[in-house]
Structure 1
């Protein structure tokens, strides 16, 4: 069994980079710059302001929120 496979929100990162043409740090930075916004507000900002799909936006927000919780 191979345990090297990336799991969770980060598993979307290669697809996000390919689909939207920006490195993942670009998208993470956008979410990190709005620390007081609620989860769905951050998702909505990525969708409406940057054209990301819901699943990709949600994965980015979930990753940043988990990172901020330690």
Structure 2
């Protein structure tokens, strides 16, 4: 195995993330109002599952970029990561909408 510049083997991440399919987490509304749509779930998702929403968005964008359908990604988030259906669906819907708009 090749080693990195410091003699340590590089860490390999199975990711297909590119700038073209990266979806950034939304900033909180400037006027202090609550987010609308799927993003309204994001504070609860972070609190419930203990990971920043950006991590969930990156994982989801990777799966969608590899061609997995919406409901397959929802099921994966539920079974592999323990998310509830509503939270998983909100993440996938948000990522799909942002990717479609870009």
TM-score by length of 1: 0.92
Of 47, 60, 63, the match for 2:94: 63
Structure showing greater radius of gyration is: 2
Unaligned 5+ segments in structure 2 are: 1-30
Give 1:14's aligned residue.
43
Unaligned 5+ segments in structure 1 are: none
Give the aligned CA root-mean-square deviation in angstroms: 1.5
Aligned residue pairs: how many?
A: 69
Q: Give the drift of 1:57.
A: 0.1
Give 2:11's aligned residue.
none
SS at match of 1:25: helix
Q: Residues 2-27 of structure 1, C-alpha deviation per residue, up to 9 Å, x if partnerless?
A: 89331100000000000000000110
Cα distance in 1 for partners of 2:78, 2:40 equals 19
Relative to its length, the structure with more helix (as a share) is 1
The list of structure 1 runs, each at least 4 consecutive aligned residues, that deviate by more than 4 angstroms after superposition, is none
